[in-house]
Structure 1
Amino acid sequence: MIPAVDALLKDIRNKRIAPVYLIHGDEPFYIDRIAEELEKVAVPVAERGFNQFVLFGKDTDAGAVLNYARRYPFMAERQLVLVKEAQQMNGINDKSAQTLFEDYALNPLSSTILMLCYTREDGKPALDERKAWVKAFGAKGKLLGVKKLYDNKIPDWVGEYCREQGAKVSPKACQLLADHIGNDLKRLASEIDKILINLHVGEEISAATVERLVGISKEYNVFELQKALSQRDVVKANQIVDYFGRNPKDNPLVVILAQLFGYFSKVLLVQASKDQSDKGLAPLLGVNPFFVKDYLSAARTFPLPKVAGIIHAIRRADAQSKGIDTPTMSESDILRELVFEVLH
């Protein structure tokens, strides 16, 4: 859990609630989680019919939102006005709308809790916290930006999420989920929740559990491909590549290349490090100490110039997947050519 998010959730659970909130960033999982927690706590269930308003940005504008915010609660202590996807509000980038929000945020109604959930959309700039209307929310309430986690932080997040749900999970299971799903926290949480429903009391989430319940092939996944490459197991590596070629929807090339790039980049770090101990390498690589031996093994298999060549080959494969230089090559052929280059 991001410390700032954790602190804000604790405040809400303990009913230390601010009059205005602006939660923004490119990680919708945390934005939604904060909104859900506020919905649970802000207004008692019996009073929500007249005092809890959930609006969606594309259907409203600043004036309409503030009309709700300025009304008084009906036979209740307070009301909640929650705007989801606030970045889609009509005119939200106009100076006039931003001035309306700034004026209200600096003088909020004590009986209203106003929350704007502002998710950065792909290709759009992040919300500028230097703007006056944004700073006004921080001055009188809570302003919080949440960024997407880096890929190397995802296994730790999986482990933490499982522990929050009261479940034990193995390091390999965390890594397998991270490799298969990536940094989509909503999907990760959904898959983990499915696993937990089917788990026996006291049972640990193992790699085998993930393979069985998430639908990951036990023998043919990127984790096993990395292992086959590091052991120079030509037959196994090509079996996995053939499987990927027959199941492209479940094994997109762009994801495979990203994971292989991350793997061999870490192997390069191992070779450059003077400290070859598990304790020293784990924080350098950003992995659980359980996996350090895999990178040490790969570093012994491939000399430094070869690893540099592999990383270059992965970059070239990525360009090919985008139609550069070889527009007619299939994803399967690109991966097969890359694996050949790694192993020979």
Structure 2
Amino acid sequence: MKTQPEKLPQLLKKGLAPVYLISGDEPLLVQECCDQIRKTARDQGFLDRLTFHADHQMDWNAVGDELSAMSLFAERRRIEIHLPTGKLGDGRALMERVLQDPPEDVVLLLISARLDAAETRRKWYKELQNKGVHVPVWPIDANKFQGWLQQRATSRGLSLTRGALAILAERLEGNLLAASQELDRLSLLNQGQTIDEEAVEQAVQDSSRFNGFELVTELLAGRAPHAGKMIGVLQQEGENPLGLLAVLTRDLNLILELKSVASQGENPSAFLKKRGVFQPQRARVIEQAARRLNRPQLHAALALCSDIDRAAKGFDSLTPWQYLRDLSVQLAVRS
């Protein structure tokens, strides 16, 4: 069966399925769904855990051995398989056999990127729908993000003024992981107090000297030397590049859209306001980048973003920070 993330808790209360598939490109929401399944499984005695990553070195025979082996001392296990490409590849035949008759002492958790239509027509997926649960995770629509942020804040006991919520929504749109972390930090800094615009701005000023949002601004402005220094600091501090990558990709696509509507005579400022860009500094940087960069540069930058994503997930010999340095040079060149 297929269900939505918000319905998963209620479904888990009714009992565990032998197999779950959590798929999507929103790391925070995927992780939270997986954590709910893990907790329920632990509570029901599935304490042992094995994890596999379906990369080019994956040994599917080892996975098959684990799925067919009886647990020692009748211990029940959780077996997790990460599918970063959203495809089973060489493991498809094995999974078809396993899903026809899932082992009783195992909860199988498949954690996948978004599935394409072709994969959902394969036999293994149809077997999974019959025997297990698929939870597809979709991005939060831009027009629903502020509501999602408000709901998230309320669940943490935070009270936000309308202005504070608007600032956070503009700053964090498209990056759910950063949004969750920001709300956690605000809850620590403003215990029991209503959070207004000043509190949000102060929290931003109190954050690390170089953060991912500032780096995105420097990259789009074409200030490669300063961006290079910031990349070095963020790398040393152990920053996760996937957080800033979501913001950067969003803004590069927005710049491409702006170039299209501007060529048709639409006012850039009016367009950006319609797209939820109200902060003057961000709007100025995006407008300037749209004038300075041509389409081939922007498409090349988006291709580098894909390289960064792949490297951050361990599927490249280079580090994501090396690709980010290449990107800073790419965006500094004038068309």
User: What TM bracket, shorter-length normalisation?
Assistant: 0.5 to 0.7
2:270 to 256, 264, 267: 264
Q: What CA deviation, in whole Å up to 9, does each residue of 1:232-284 have, x standing for no partner?
A: xxxxxxxxx9xx8998779979739939969734867xxxxxxxxxxxxxxxx
Question: 1:204 and 2:202 equivalent?
Answer: no
Q: Quick one: which amino acid aligns to residue 214 of structure 1? A: V
- CA shift, 1:67, in A, is 2.3
In the other structure, the counterpart of 2:313 is none
Change (3 A) 1:27 1:34: same
Equivalent residue for 1:147?
Answer: 138
- Quick check: 1:192 aligned with 2:186? no
1:165 to 1:69, Cα distance in 2 relative to 1, 3 A? farther
- Paired positions, count: 256
Residues 159-308 of structure 1 aligned to structure 2 (within 5 Å): 159-201=150-192, 203-215=193-205, 255=251, 258=254, 264-265=270-271
Give 2:10's aligned residue. Answer: 10
2:52 paired with 1:62: no
Conserved? CA contact 1:61–1:92, under 8 Å: no
Structure-to-structure mapping, 1:26-45, within 5 angstroms: 26-44=25-43
Pairing 1:321–2:293 present: yes
Where do 5+ consecutive residues of structure 1 fail to align?
A: 218-240, 269-284, 295-310, 335-344
3-state secondary structure, aligned to 1:128? helix
Shift of 1:127: 7.0
Match of 1:92 in 2: 88
1:102 aligns with 2:96: yes
Letter in 2 for 1:10: Q
Of residues 112, 125, 142, the one that matches 1:118 is: 112
Q: 1:32 to 1:98 in 2, by over 3 A?
A: same
Aligned counterparts of 1:54 and 1:329: Cα–Cα separation in 2: 38
Partner of 1:130: 121
Instruction: Report the alpha carbon displacement of residue 141 of structure 1 after superposing the two structures with TM.
Output: 0.4
Tell which structure's C-alpha radius of gyration is larger.
1
The one-character-per-residue Cα deviations of 1:172-206 (angstroms, maximum 9, x if unpaired) are 223222222331111211111111122222x1232
Superposition deviation, residue 42 in structure 1: 0.6
Q: Deviations over 1:92-122 (max 9, x none)?
A: 324xx212112211210122100110024xx
Distance 2:205 2:44 in 1: 39
> 1:254–1:154: structure 2 CA closer, same or farther, 3 Å change rule?
closer
Equivalent residues of 2:140, 2:174 under 8 A apart: yes
Task: Give the drift of 1:166.
Answer: 2.2
- CA-atom RMSD, angstroms? 4.4
TM-score of the superposition, structure 1-length normalised?
A: 0.59
Provide the rounded CA distance (Å) in 1 between the counterparts of 2:5 and 2:118: 18
**2:46–2:76 CA contact under 8 A, matched in 1:** no
**d(CA) in 1 for partners of 2:17, 2:44:** 20
DSSP-derived class of the 1:99 partner: helix
Counterpart of 1:21?
20
Percent of aligned pairs sharing the same letter: 21
Q: Deviations over 1:303-340 (max 9, x none)?
A: xxxxxxxx9xx789526334769xx9987x99xxxxxx
For 2:8 and 2:118, the matched residues in 1 are separated by 19
Contact conserved, 1:102 with 1:132, CA < 8 A, in 2? yes
Question: How high is the TM-score relative to the length of structure 2?
Answer: 0.61
Shift of residue 69 of structure 1? 2.4
